[in-house]
Amino acid sequence: MACAHCGDACPDQPIRLSARPELPFCCQGCKAVYELLDQSNLCTYYRLDDKPGQKIPEVELPGRFDYLNSESVQSQLLAFRSEALNQLTFSIPQMHCASCIWLLENLFKLNPGITSSRVNFLRKELTVSYNPAATTLTEVAKLLASVGYEPQITLAELGAQPHRANRTLYYQLGLAAFAFGNVMLMAFPDYFSFTEQLQASFGQFFGWLSLGLSLPVLLVSARGFYRSAWQGLRHRYINLDFPISLGLTALFLTSLYDIATQHGPGYLDSFTGLVFFMLIGKWVQQRTYDALRFDRDFTSYFPVAVTRLTAGGREESVAVRELRAGQRIRVRHQEIIPADAVLLRGQGQIDYSFVTGESVPVARTSGEVVYAGGRQTGEALELEVVREVSQGYLTQLWNNPAFQKEEKATLETYANKVGRYFVAVTLVLALGAVAYWQWQGRPDMALRAFTSVLVIACPCALSLATPFALGAALRALGRCKLFLKNSGVVETLGRADTIVFDKTGTLTDVKRSAVEYAGPTLTLAQQQAIAAVIQHSTHPLSQRLAAELPASHLPVQEFREVAGQGLCGTVAGEEVRVGSAAFVGVGNPAPEAGTPATAESAATTDGLQSRVYVSVEGVQGCYLLRNVYREELRSILAELSRHYHLAVLSGDNDTEQDRLRELFGPQAELHFRQSPQQKLDYVAHLRQQGRTVIMVGDGLNDAGALQQADAGVALTDTLTNFSPACDAILDARSFGQLSTFLRFSQDCLQVVLGTFVLSFCYNGIGLGLAVQGKFTPIVSAILMPISSLSVMVFATLLVHYAAHRRQL
Amino acid sequence: MEIIFVLISISLCVAMLFLLAFVWAVRSHQYDDTYTPAVRVLFDDQEENAQPRGQR
């Protein structure tokens, strides 16, 4: 049975509303949202789309949004502030359907203080206006979180300027289209012989009018190409925009000369047409990137504000950036430790899965150092900051010079490489033509040939091939849940020869770990009693176990979680204990008198397997949780090992070596006990050997390696919660298609090369005419648009065909 | 044939009007989000209709 709110599978006895018993719910959170929406008459939400809701985490974190009251945070977040109205834009990655849009735009019905809210679905943004006298920012954020659309507020976003839609391109495109259409009309008399009369009497007028229409195109629409070419030159780098600028300039100046000296009508129709087509290419590129925007950095992980303790012991909320060494902070259950610090008070149970990939929390006692990036589970801690956020361990890793590769990677694309040779060849040809005609004693032809060569050599079709081919590729891959940062990544994926895997969380499937039970058989009632207790814990082992046991909603009294030890609680008068061997008292033959039902559990981690001891009603047993490799792993590896050099980097010990060796084959390199830095170094070493490396990892602990690799692919179970600085994000469910993705990328490169060949053919024909001085305006007007259009169509169709053939 | 001058100036003026209309559309945010409004327009006001008329 599917939950009426989120569509997840319901437990055997679903939670039901007394008013609407026909609707099943999977958890209290989902039911609460339904009730809230029902009260405010907002149930249209459920009618617009089938089961549109987000699962609500059961754990409520009090004071989670308190930092939004802080003045420094508000001043950075709010785009507009006044007495009666505040406005800001939230990023809400969860929104996915029409129901989401509808609910988010009807927020004012839930909180009257909100005056309006508007969604930009493509950017996953919500712009909220509220009356600060009637409600607060914290209230708004809480409301969003309570209906399942928790806004993503991160340090990275705090520093960033509010997003401004890029309208310049639309103006440029509109202007170019306007000029293109009209200039083409003016050029018509020139195309046909029967209009010679017309051309003779109006040619001059048409010429100057076209010039007037083209001037804004040169000054406004084509500005982007000139700017980019100039920036490239300043960095002593010739990009594709340089020959384009050269060609456009030649085209315009020749036309100007022709018109001024009454030689002919000039090439202005080609000029405006080219600018128009190339801007369309740019627009396609921009739209593709807008839809797949995930360019965030490590600061996205850190909390925006922390609870600082003043000298008097008072709590205050401050921005993380204001945190200084020596200050005391309080970190509560489920909060991330923002900076390297010394533990002063409290039992630390720190989940470093974010840093090391290991999901079992590490126990820390007072006096010990805890590192930034860990998440506290359990009681609140008091910490003294030893290093500021910007100097912490994680930050140092992220600041490694390896992370500055981006600039280079995007510039070194095929098109730009080709562009460089283009300039050289063009100049040689142009000068050759000049020399030939001079030698022939025809200086007028020399000038004509020179400018024609520059014009025809303008690699406009080349500049269109990449955005259209790779844009189509990005969309095809995006449909299969592989999101690439930019089109350059497709090229890298296609060229790669080495794939490095991280182990935990990448090769193994944390969610699917096998659960085995050892000990006397438990009755259903006993299992339900255990389930009732562990539902109260957020410990990953508890959650995994809870998924395995029958669901139960028995009330639990006297629930207690002893950090690092286990849980205990009383269910229906019987005490249940879950946790470590010592906590549960395994080996103790007789349960203590007076506690007839004692369930103890001990979580012991041994390589890939964890033990949880339980005791209920005097019965003691042990659950064995074993991480298993992803289902598709074997077939994937068999396919990949034929074409690629494979390697595994693991932070764990080498107990799994034999299994991995068997999976990966004799050639693969297996490395164990690797620190994040070692992983990074290993990838750097491979690259020095001239290999093109794809790193497949899962998170921050291999973030350095992900970034160091030519293409870092982050594998994730929850796309919305994940935002590392990698080059691509792959949904774990699509892991099985990895080799298909790689082959598709290779296909796409072939398509790009194919379009290059096509556009070279056009250029070859054009150049042949140009050096002979036969490149007339009419030839230009036919050849140029045909070459641009056919390259666009060819690239898009072939990529779609390749995707279809690979069944993507 | 001098009528051509008049005709062309008229046609250019009309074309210019369309260009201005386009610029106005971009300026008034119509190109900022090309997806959501298409969905938004399909929502109807069922909830308000369900209420007694006197309240509206």
Domain boundaries, given as residue ranges, for chain B: 3-55
Angle value at C-alpha A240, between A235 and A241, nearest 5 degrees: 80
Of A101, A119, A167, the CB nearest to B26: A167
Q: What is the pLDDT of residue A221?
A: 92
- Give dist(CA A379, CA A536) in Å, integer: 14
Of A98, A182, A202, the CB nearest to B12: A182
Q: And the tokens for A367?
A: 């006096």
Say yes or no: B53 contacts chain A, CB-CB below 8 A.
Answer: no
Burial class of residue B35 (count of CB atoms within 10 Å of its CB; 0-12, 13-18, 19+): middle
Q: Does the beta-carbon distance from A167 to B32 stay under 8 Å?
A: yes
Per-residue pLDDT of A250-289, as tens digits, reads 889 888 988 888 877 788 888 998 899 889 888 887 777 6
Which is nearest to A158 in space by CA: A321, A397, A316, A372?
A: A321
Instruction: For chain A, give every residue range classified as CATH 3.40.1110.10.
Output: 510-628
Task: Report, in angstroms and rounded to the nearest whole number, the Rg of chain B calculated over CA atoms.
Answer: 22
Say yes or no: B55 contacts chain A, CB-CB below 8 A.
Answer: no
Of A41, A119, A178, the CB nearest to B47: A41
Task: Tell me the chain A residues in contact with residue B40 when contact means C-beta distances shorter than 8 Å.
Answer: 101, 105
Per-residue pLDDT of A12-46, as tens digits, reads 677 777 777 778 887 777 777 888 888 888 888 88
Q: And the tokens for A195?
A: 């209009």
CB contact set of A478 (below 8 Å; sequence gap of 6+): A291, A292, A484
Task: Tell me the chain B residues in contact with residue A98 when contact means C-beta distances shorter than 8 Å.
Answer: 39, 42
- Give dist(CA A294, CA A296) in Å, integer: 6
Q: What is the pLDDT of residue A445?
A: 80
Task: Tell me the chain A residues in contact with residue B21 when contact means C-beta distances shorter than 8 Å.
Answer: none
Say yes or no: B45 contacts chain A, CB-CB below 8 A.
Answer: no
Q: And the tokens for A80?
A: 């507009």
State the DSSP H helix or E strand holding residue A364, giving kind and residue range, or none if neither. Answer: strand A362-364
CATH for the stretch A510-628: 3.40.1110.10
Looking at domain A66-153, does it have CATH number 3.30.70.100?
A: yes
- Give dist(CA A302, CA A339) in Å, integer: 9
CB contact set of A117 (below 8 Å; sequence gap of 6+): A104, A105, A106, A107, A108, A126, A127, A128, A129
Q: What is the pLDDT of residue A391?
A: 59
Eight-class DSSP state of A339: S
Say yes or no: A715 contacts chain B, CB-CB below 8 A.
Answer: no
Res. B21 pLDDT band, cuts 50 70 90: very high
Q: Does the beta-carbon distance from A120 to B36 stay under 8 Å?
A: yes
Which is nearest to A210 in space by CA: A260, A148, A144?
A: A260
Strands A341-345 and A315-319: unpaired
- Average pLDDT across chain A, whole number: 77
Task: Tell me the chain A residues in contact with residue B31 when contact means C-beta distances shorter than 8 Å.
Answer: 165, 167, 170
Q: And the tokens for A657?
A: 């070596």
Beta strands in B1-56 (DSSP E): none
Of B8, B15, B27, the CB nearest to A178: B15
Instruction: For chain A, give every residue range classified as CATH 3.30.70.100.
Output: 66-153
Q: Which segments of chain A have a pLDDT < 50? A: 159-162, 294-299, 357, 398, 401-412, 588-607, 719-723
Q: What is the pLDDT of residue A29?
A: 75
Q: Does the beta-carbon distance from A121 to B47 stay under 8 Å?
A: no
Distances (CA, A) of A175 to A464, A576, B15: 19, 74, 11
- Give dist(CA A664, CA A629) in Å, integer: 12
Give me the residues of A, 182-221, that contact B with CB < 8 A.
Answer: 182, 185, 198, 201-202, 205, 209
Say yes or no: B23 contacts chain A, CB-CB below 8 A.
Answer: yes
CB contact set of A437 (below 8 Å; sequence gap of 6+): A443, A445, A446, A449, A773
Task: Tell me the chain A residues in contact with residue B28 when contact means C-beta distances shorter than 8 Å.
Answer: none
Task: Report, in angstroms and rounded to the nearest whole number, the Rg of chain A calculated over CA atoms.
Answer: 32
Q: What is the pLDDT of residue A589?
A: 39
Which is nearest to A565 in space by CA: A550, A586, A588?
A: A586
Torsion angle of C-alpha atoms A735, A740, A744, A747, degrees rounded to 10: 150
Check if the beta carbon of residue A763 is closer than 8 Å to that of residue A775: no
Q: Would you identify the CATH topology of the domain A301-394?
A: 2.70.150
Q: What is the pLDDT of residue A56?
A: 67
- Give dist(CA A342, CA A372) in Å, integer: 11
Torsion angle of C-alpha atoms A317, A318, A319, A324, degrees rounded to 10: -140
Other Cβ atoms within 10 Å of A689 Cβ, number: 8
Say yes or no: B24 contacts chain A, CB-CB below 8 A.
Answer: no
CB contact set of A670 (below 8 Å; sequence gap of 6+): A647, A648, A650, A654, A657, A660, A661, A664
Angle value at C-alpha A447, between A443 and A452, nearest 5 degrees: 145
Q: What is the pLDDT of residue A220?
A: 92
Q: Does the beta-carbon distance from A174 to B23 stay under 8 Å?
A: yes
Q: What is the pLDDT of residue A171?
A: 92
- List b or e across A67-94, with b for residues whose CB sees 16 or more CB atoms inside 10 angstroms: bbebebbbebbbeeeeeeebbbbbbbbb
Q: And the tokens for A687?
A: 């690259």
- Check the CA dihedral A198-A203-A204-A207 and report its sign: positive
